Amino acid sequence: MLEDRYGSPLTTTSQAARDAYVEGIDRFLGAFDDVEEAYRSAMQADDSFAMPHVGLARYLVTVGRGQDAKREIAVAKELSHGVSSREAAQIDIISDLIEGRAPQAYRRIRDHVADHPRDILLAQTCTSVFGLIGFSGQAGREAEQLAYTTMLKPHYGDDWWFLCQHAFAQMEAGQIGPAAENIECALELKPDSAHTAHVRAHLYYENGETDAGYAYLREFWQDYPSTAYLHCHLSWHVALWALESGDVAGMWKLFDDYVSPDRPPAPPLNVLTDSVAIVHRAFLAGEQIPQERWQQLSDYAVEFFPSPGLAFADVHAALAHAMAGNRERLESTIDGAKGPAGPTVVSVAGAFRALADGNADEAIEKFVSVMSEHERLGGSRAQRDIIEFSLAHALAISGQSNEAQRILNMHRPHTSHDHAVATLEE
C-alpha cells in the first residue's frame, strides 16, 4: 500500500495521486505557495481519493476560506467509503475544526495522536502559536505547547517540520539555547521553508538582534511569493524591523503594499492582527497616525470579525476600534468576550479604551492585571509586545518612566526596545 512521507498508509493505488498529495502536505507545512494546486493535482490523478480533499480543507480554513473548506470536507465524506480507520478519523476531526468545534477537536486529536503520532495533518494542528493549544485561552499554554512537541520528538527525529515547530515551542517557553540549535538544524534540512525562516526571525527578535534579523529576513522575503499564505506575516516582521531601524518611510511602504487591508488577499487573521500591531507599534514609537488608518482597520475588523470569540483577534479589533473612536464596536467586543481568555480580553480591551481616552492610570491598572497571563490571548511573545510596550507607554505618560524601564528590563530583557516607546525618551 502507498504511504505518505510519514509512513501513514493511503487509500489510493495511484502513485501520481500519492506524490501530489505528499507535495501538498509539504507545501502546507512549509508555507510554500501553490498548496491548493498540489492537492488539485492529486484529485485529478485519482478522483476517488478522499485525502487530498481533507488536506485542502485544512489549508483553506487556515487561510480564512471557511466556506470553501466546508465544501472540500463534504466531498471527502462522500468519498470516505473504504478508507482506513485512521483516514476516517482524520476526516471527522478536520470536519470538527472547520465547523468551529475546536475544544472537541482538540480532545479527539490528542487521543488520535497518542495512537498515530506521525499522522501529520492532525499532529500539526496543535503546534505553533496559532494552533489549538496556542489559541486555547488556557493559562500555561506555552508550557503545554512545549510538552506536546516534546512528546512528539521520539516519533519525528530530525524531520525539518518537527524541528521547526519544536524550536518555536522552546523559544516561547524561554528555552532560547535549545531553540537555536533546533532551528539551525531545520534550516540546514529545509532552508526554503517559510515557517523555518519565520521561526529563525523570531529567534533574532528574542535575542534583540535587530540588524542581523532585518538583513536575514529581508533577503528571504524578497524571493518569497506574495501569494504564499505567510507572506503578510513575514512582511510584518520586516516592517517592524524597518521601524526599529529608523526607516519609517520603508516601514509604511511595506505596510501599505503587503500588510494592510489593501494588500493582495491574505488570511484575514494575519491582516487584522499584523496591521493593527504595526500601526500601534509605530504610534508607540512616536509616529503620528492619521485617523483614516485606524478607521480602515476598525472597518476591516467589523467586516471580517463581526462577533467576538477568538481572543487574539478580539484584542486587536478592540485596539483598532478604540483608536478609531468606534466606541459602539469596542463595547460590543468587550461585552461579547467569551471563552477561557474572555476576562483577559476584557482587561486588555479596557486598557486600550483607557489609553485612547487619555486615562493612563486606568490603562496601567488594567494592563498590570494581565501581565502574568496574557499568553492566554494567543500569538507569540513578539506579537504580545504591544501589551508590554503599551503598559510602558502608559507608565511613561503618567510620570513613571523609571518603573516602565524596569518592567521592560524584567519582562523583555533581551529584546530590542531602545526606541520602541518614544515617551520613555522624553
- Domain at 41, CATH number: 1.25.40.10
Among candidates 146, 236, 237, 160, which has minimal Cα distance to 196?
A: 160
Q: Enter the C-alpha cell of residue 203.
A: 529567534
What are the residue ranges of helices labelled H in 63-193? 66-78, 85-98, 102-115, 120-123, 141-156, 160-172, 176-189
**Domain contains 284:** yes
Give the CATH number of the domain where residue 277 resides: 1.25.40
Q: Which of 126, 149, 169 is the last residue of a domain?
A: 126
**Domain contains 421:** yes
| pLDDT tens column, 285-328 | 999 999 999 999 999 999 999 999 999 999 999 999 999 999 99
Cβ contact 149:165 at 8 Å = yes
Predicted confidence at residue 414, as pLDDT, reads: 76
Predicted confidence at residue 416, as pLDDT, reads: 65
**Domain contains 144:** no
Averaged pLDDT of the chain: 97
Structural domains of the chain, count: 2
Predicted confidence at residue 369, as pLDDT, reads: 98
**Residues 129, 132, 138, 142, CA torsion sign:** negative
Q: Enter the C-alpha cell of residue 234.
A: 513575514
Burial status of residue 284 (CB atoms within 10 A of its CB: 0-12, 13-18, 19 or more): buried
**Residue pointed to by grid coordinates 488536506:** 55
| pLDDT tens column, 91-102 | 999 999 999 999
**Domain contains 89:** yes
Q: Which of 98, 126, 154 is the last residue of a domain?
A: 126
**Domain contains 293:** yes
**Domain contains 62:** yes
List the domain range (segments joined by +) for residue 372: 267-425
Predicted confidence at residue 206, as pLDDT, reads: 95
Stated pTM of the model: 0.96
- CA–CA separation, 323 and 307 (whole Å): 19
Residue 265 DSSP symbol: P
Taking the CB of residue 81, how many other CB atoms lie within 10 A of it? 10
What are the residue ranges of helices labelled H in 30-101? 35-45, 51-62, 66-78, 85-98
Q: Which of 93, 110, 126 is the last residue of a domain?
A: 126
Predicted confidence at residue 81, as pLDDT, reads: 95
Residue ranges in the chain modelled with pLDDT below 50:
none
